[in-house]
Every structure is written in structure tokens, then in C-alpha cells.
Structure 1
Amino acid sequence: MKTRTALFVIGLAAAASLSAPPSARAQCRLCEKPSTMPAAEGAEGPIDLQIEAGLDFDRLVVVGPGDGTATLRPDGTRQASGSVEAISGRAMVGQASVRGEPGRLIRVELPERIELYSLDGARISIDQIVTDLSSAPRLDSSGNLSFRFGGRIRLSGNTDGDFRGDVPITVEYL
């Protein structure tokens, strides 16, 4: 079973993406039957995951030292509650694309919870990460699938700072 995992950084001030570039393949021009198709890896072809945009809450307006949440859904809608009064207009949902064998069913796994840390050791968490994927995602006839993802961030107490964390996304053929 072929699996591809990418880690990316999520933050309140800026998000950076980390993903491996697609592997370049070339074929010998002296071969008997040249082909433009990538070489198959075993019984299953390669699968590639690219992070197009990292999930970024940018700035949150916090009005007091209580608990609060900020939700950014895959469709871009925002919701703030508790001590969080607003989410910056520059907040962005994450976007990823998968490339592999046309028509194949895939599984996309995201963690249930991630921790974000600031430079001074403060911690906040995202306890809901959701995507706009169907319950049985399938690569299209060109072998592509794009999806968006968002989440809910939870603040507790008098939290302030620039928080970052890694989110592993795993994609595999079914």
C-alpha cells in the first residue's frame, strides 16, 4: 500500500508549508518504446500530496481572560465565541492536492487534535480539523483531487503570542 505523508506548520501570524516536491522522472531516449507515463512503483503507482496553502488563523481579537474558540471551516466561514470576538479577514483555510492513479479511491487522515506552541512555551490547541472531502474520496480521471480543510482553535486564560505547530496529513490508496 503506497502512502504519502506531509507535515505543515499552522500558526496565528503566518503559516509555512513543508512538502516534498514531486519527484522528477525521465526516460532514456535510446529505449525501444519511449513512454511519457511515470514508471509504476510495484503493483501500485506513486501518490503525491502537496500543501497548496497552510491553515492560518492570522490574528484573533480576544476581549478578556476567559475561554474562547475560533472556527474556520473549509468553505471559509468563520465563527468566534467566548473570549474570542473576531477572526482576522486574512485568515485562510488550508488547501491540499493529491495526485496519483486516475480513478483510485484514497484515504486522507488528519489528526483529531494538535498542539500549537509559542516561543515562550505557551500552548493552545486545535481540537477539530475538518475537510470538504466526501466520505469516499476518489482521484478524478486525470489522477487529481484537491481539498480544503479548516478547524477550531481553543484558547484558555490570557493567551497571547505567535503560535505554531505541525499537522501530519497522510494519504493512501484503498
Structure 2
Amino acid sequence: MGDEDQSGSANQPQIPLRISIEADIRFNRLAFAGAGAGEVQIDPASGSTRTDGGLVDLGGLALTGSARITGEPGRAVRVDLPHSIRLTSQTGGHADLVSLQTSLSPSPRIGPDGTLVFSFAGTLKVSGGIGGHYRGRIPITAEYE
């Protein structure tokens, strides 16, 4: 027996996965009208928005989030996002970002260049009538399949 390296096999990736966020989710400028509760949804594939309830769209630019995964070319990956995130504002308000989705296909793979780029978005649910600039972190995880 020689000094063969047993640490790698055909099924184990040689390049670790790395995730970088290239753009944050950005919702339009919104105002409360009436009840002080409502929601706005951004579609992760098209970027289109839909506002419901007591929120009024004041315009501006709504953007999906964008992420880049780098890893071993051709490898299948699983990407997970949480179901919901609590966002807070400096004025004491809170909102929930729910139903997070990506633009990924059902079986995503790292491309031949070693990257996989996708967008992500969800539905922002606001209640309580407290305005502000809401912020939070979305933990995105990825693993080789």
C-alpha cells in the first residue's frame, strides 16, 4: 500500500461552498392608509410587486435580493431560507418577512464557471402603524446534494 490520499472521493466536493449576498431585498416606499396593517409581496423571479390591506405604494424601486454561490462546477446544491424573519425599525416598529422564495429551479446546480446566481424575495407584513426603515438578516444556507 502506498501513500494514497483517502480524504477525497468521487462524491466528495473538493471546493467548499461560499455564499455572498450581492443585493438586499428592497421594498417600495409604502404608507399606511386606514387600519395600519397590510402587506407587500415581491415575486423572486419577475420582481413584480403586489400590495394588499392598509398599505399604499408610494412608488420607488422594489428589488429582489440577489445571492451568488460559488463551488464545484456541475454539483447539485440545496439552498434553504427560513420561512419568516422579524424585521425591526429604529422607531420601535416591527414587520415580518414571510414566505421567502428563490428563483432557483427545483434541482439547482453550480454552473460550469463555478457559480450559481439567484434572486430571493417574499412578503412583507406590517402592522401597528409604526413607520420606519425596517432591517433584519436572512440566513441562507447551501449544501452539496
Global fold match (TM > 0.5)? yes
- TM-score after normalising by structure 2: 0.84
AA matched with 1:142: D
Deviation at 1:58, TM superposition (A): 4.4
Matches of 1:84 and 1:71, distance apart in 2: 11
AA matched with 1:139: I
Confirm or deny: 8 A CA contact 2:28 2:57 kept in the other structure: no
AA matched with 1:114: I
Matches of 1:57 and 1:69, distance apart in 2: 11
Partner of 2:98: 127
Deviation at 1:88, TM superposition (A): 3.1
In the alignment, which of 45, 63, 68 is matched to residue 33 of structure 2?
Answer: 63
Partner of 1:80: 51
Change (3 A) 1:73 1:87: farther
SS at match of 1:164: coil
Pairs within 5 Å for 1:11-160:
43-44=12-13, 45-74=15-44, 75-86=46-57, 88-160=59-131
AA matched with 1:51: I
Runs (4 or more) in structure 1 with deviation over 3 Å come to none
AA matched with 1:166: R
Deviation at 1:62, TM superposition (A): 2.2
- Equivalenced residue count is 134
Confirm or deny: 8 A CA contact 1:57 1:87 kept in the other structure: no
Deviation at 1:87, TM superposition (A): 5.7
Deviation at 1:64, TM superposition (A): 2.2
Deviation at 1:72, TM superposition (A): 1.0
- TM-score after normalising by structure 1: 0.71
Confirm or deny: 8 A CA contact 1:64 1:158 kept in the other structure: no
Deviation at 1:129, TM superposition (A): 0.8
CA RMSD in angstroms comes to 1.7
Deviation at 1:137, TM superposition (A): 0.6
For structure 2, which runs of at least 5 residues remain unmatched after alignment?
A: 1-6
Matches of 2:58 and 2:140, distance apart in 1: 25
For structure 1, which runs of at least 5 residues remain unmatched after alignment?
A: 1-40
Change (3 A) 1:55 1:119: same
